[in-house]
Structure 1
Amino acid sequence: MVFSISTDELYRRIEQGEPIFILDVRNTDEYSNWKIEGRNVQSINVPYFDFMEDEDKAVSQVPKDKDLVVICAHQGSSAYVADVLDRRGYRAVYVQGGMAAWGNTYHVVPVVEEPDWTLLQINRVGKGCLSYFMFSKGEAVVVEPLRNVNLYTELAEKYGVTIRHILDSHMHADHISTGPELAARTGATYYLNSSEGSKVRFEPLEKYEKLQSGNIEVEVLVVKTPGHTPGSLSFFVNQKYLLSGDTIFVGGLGRPDLGGKAREWAEDLYDTVFGKVAALADDVIVLPSHYASFAELNDKGVVADTLGNIRSRNEIMHLADRQRFIETVVESDSALKPPNYLDVLAINRGDFQVDAARADELEMGPNRCAAHHAAAS
């Protein structure tokens, strides 16, 4: 009998550092573009059609001394291959829902739990996308709302709070923001910088230097940090936590080329890094909106690090010569863009809407919002 594993359970095992061996049976180009990775994750790619064309040859490429986790795009092919392997004496399970489910798997982990306020990080593990839910005195703030709207309303119900403010740091290119939808459902206010060019209904964030939720314990200072986009913002919470959007990552900086103005926006990024960010203390904790690998998770499962540590290992943040910085950033931008990023931008801008199935299709794949990535230690 062939068993399956949920994406939640698979993530739990990866996060805890368990050895995982994945047999990915998607086409080779799909595997090369986006696959499951982690600290102790190994994977090989033997496409499903290889099993169909020559089962013996395909099976011979699979190690028999491993506990195998078989995955495909949605589930059907991996269930078939797992059954083939099971009949041949291999130990194999298949992943429920495949990579489509992996891309929609969320993990909630506390960053701050104090009597007067709480800050949670929401990790969309298959996409490397991060969102935040913070609350105090019965009122909540959502930052970078991801696709699972129900997750935020369920968190509000769980903690007995009302969502009052919903913030996007910029116009996202790698995932569809549900800020407007969540605002309509909860009656909260959705905020975005006007210079991002959105056609949806929002409250201009540039009007505010500070937002409060509940009381002063959750004071969100709006910090203009252009570079990834011209209207990129960061949110400084309690003078301690920098929710940095796509401006600063644990392992890199936001790429400035997704709007077709790489050099111009790199100028802004320089001003942000050596102006706004340089003024922040080394002990400020950076909480970004994306991450590139499991190496960026700390021992509590949170994607975070001090600004001092990030500065120390990211050489470009020491490159004070303006022109050298700009040239380095522009030259380091990868030719690989976030999948379907023009359509995702258009949806977030309010040009058109799509149903859930089409949204899943457009969001499938990794985020690629970082430039000059430096590995986390």
Structure 2
Amino acid sequence: MSAGAINAIQLNEKVEQGVFLLDVRNPEDFADWKIEGKEVRSINIPYFDFLDDNENIYGQLPADEEIVVICAKGGSAKMVADLLDEKGFQASYLEQGMQEWSQFYRPVTVMEDDNLKLIQVNRLAKGCLSYMLISGGEALVVDPNRHIEEYLSLAEQEDAAIKYVLDTHLHADHISGGHELAEKTGAVYYISSSEMQGSELSYEPLEKQGMLEVGRAEAKILAVPTPGHTPGSVSVLVNDRYLLSGDTIFVGGLGRPDLGGKAAEWAQALYDTVFTTIASLPDDVLVLPAHYAEASEIRREGYVGAPLGEIRGNNEVMRTANRDRFAEKVAHAVGATPPNYEEIVEINRGAASASPEKATELEIGPNRCALHHG
């Protein structure tokens, strides 16, 4: 008898309901990147510890509930799950491990009325958020990740034709599916030209397009320049009510300004974004970012986002009106850079390419694009 395999869809259902996870990767890998959720309990016992026949480790595991075993690609987890099964534990394992989990997407409807439906697509393992806005049978996709079949399938379910695809900036932690999705659907691909210098990819300069209309007239997409995270970063203001903020404003912080090697200069631009461009927006605008850092940022409704007023109230840096102090705080709180970010940026600019296997390898790990300040 052997333990049963589960896939990422089944694991997500367990994560939402409550689950005990046994991660058998190395402690360093577990500390850097793991499966999280409000109802998740997890423990890290490396695979090799189970090979030593140390009976004491089994005392750390629950005897009366299912244990889902996790590893990098599934092999080690299967062997440990089978061991647990032999000892009478109720065990299963994620068939293709963290590699599979890194490619799982969960769409959640943020809002829907007669004129507009706004869907947030959460790539849970990466903390990456993308969006599909649907109105009158047309769709705009914002910040799509590289698994474009997720968006093609979603558009088909919603009976909508993808008309526009937009990247708020040149992403550094994951490979964009923007250009490929636009080519596949015949949509127009938008990104700021300052993000694509030297690129041979076809795109429409976002800075020349102040407004996009999707479907009915009520569903208007206003591109608001918000430099800071990268020079060409934009946010997209939908119907004056929903701010798709890219990597400029997060639920828990601001976008890091250091990835171009100009932290001090870009921190100044981020100041202008916060205290000029964004300052005019009312507190009840719902901020919907391109990333999040912790499962606690997922609201009970299932999406990641928060009213702008709430973010202002909780974020000290956004209340730091002194320009020099603001820039100093932002520039000195950047943390570790995203792994492989230079290579990922080159792929997103069209200056390099990667096989699906190489792309999976490059994207392994959490996103590191947010700054978090209390």
TM-score (norm 2): 0.96
Residue identity in the other structure for 2:202? R
TM-score (norm 1): 0.95
Alignment partners' CA distance in 2, 1:245 and 1:88: 48
Residue identity in the other structure for 2:193? S
Offset of residue 150 of structure 1: 0.9
The answer to whether the Cα contact below 8 Å between 2:289 and 2:305 also exists between their aligned partners in 1 is: yes
Alignment partners' CA distance in 2, 1:164 and 1:180: 13
Q: Does 1:125 align with 2:124?
A: yes
Alignment partners' CA distance in 2, 1:216 and 1:118: 14
Alignment partners' CA distance in 1, 2:14 and 2:284: 31
1:109-148 equivalence runs, <5 A: 109-148=108-147
Deviation string, structure 1 residues 26-55 (Cα, Å, up to 9, x no partner): 112211110111213222211112222445
Alignment partners' CA distance in 2, 1:20 and 1:152: 29
Deviation string, structure 1 residues 106-158 (Cα, Å, up to 9, x no partner): 10111121122211110001110000011111211000011221111112222
**SS of match in other structure, 1:248:** coil
1:235-246 equivalence runs, <5 A: 235-246=236-247
Residue identity in the other structure for 2:36? E
Distance 1:27 1:234, change over 3 A: same
Alignment partners' CA distance in 2, 1:344 and 1:373: 27
Q: Which residue of 2 aligns with 1:206?
A: 207
1:146-165 equivalence runs, <5 A: 146-165=145-164
Gaps of 5+ in 2: none
Q: Which residue of 1 aligns with 2:93?
A: 94
Offset of residue 260 of structure 1: 1.1
**SS of match in other structure, 2:278:** helix
**SS of match in other structure, 1:80:** helix
Q: Which residue of 2 aligns with 1:14?
A: 15
The answer to whether the Cα contact below 8 Å between 1:166 and 1:190 also exists between their aligned partners in 2 is: yes
Residue identity in the other structure for 1:192? I
The answer to whether the Cα contact below 8 Å between 1:143 and 1:167 also exists between their aligned partners in 2 is: yes
The number of residue pairs the alignment matches comes to: 371
Q: Which residue of 2 aligns with 1:356?
A: 356
The answer to whether the Cα contact below 8 Å between 2:165 and 2:187 also exists between their aligned partners in 1 is: yes
Residue identity in the other structure for 1:179? G
The answer to whether the Cα contact below 8 Å between 2:146 and 2:178 also exists between their aligned partners in 1 is: no
- Give the alignment's Cα RMSD to 1 decimal: 1.5
Alignment partners' CA distance in 1, 2:142 and 2:7: 27
**SS of match in other structure, 1:201:** coil
Alignment partners' CA distance in 2, 1:117 and 1:48: 49
Q: Which residue of 2 aligns with 1:331?
A: 332
**SS of match in other structure, 2:146:** coil
Q: Which residue of 2 aligns with 1:178?
A: 177
Alignment partners' CA distance in 2, 1:5 and 1:373: 37
Offset of residue 65 of structure 1: 5.0
The answer to whether the Cα contact below 8 Å between 1:211 and 1:220 also exists between their aligned partners in 2 is: yes
Q: Which residue of 2 aligns with 1:38?
A: 37
Alignment partners' CA distance in 1, 2:187 and 2:372: 36
Offset of residue 223 of structure 1: 0.3
Q: Which residue of 2 aligns with 1:369?
A: 369
Residue identity in the other structure for 1:71? I
Offset of residue 171 of structure 1: 0.4
Gaps of 5+ in 1: none
Q: Which residue of 2 aligns with 1:342?
A: 342
Identity among equivalent pairs (%): 52
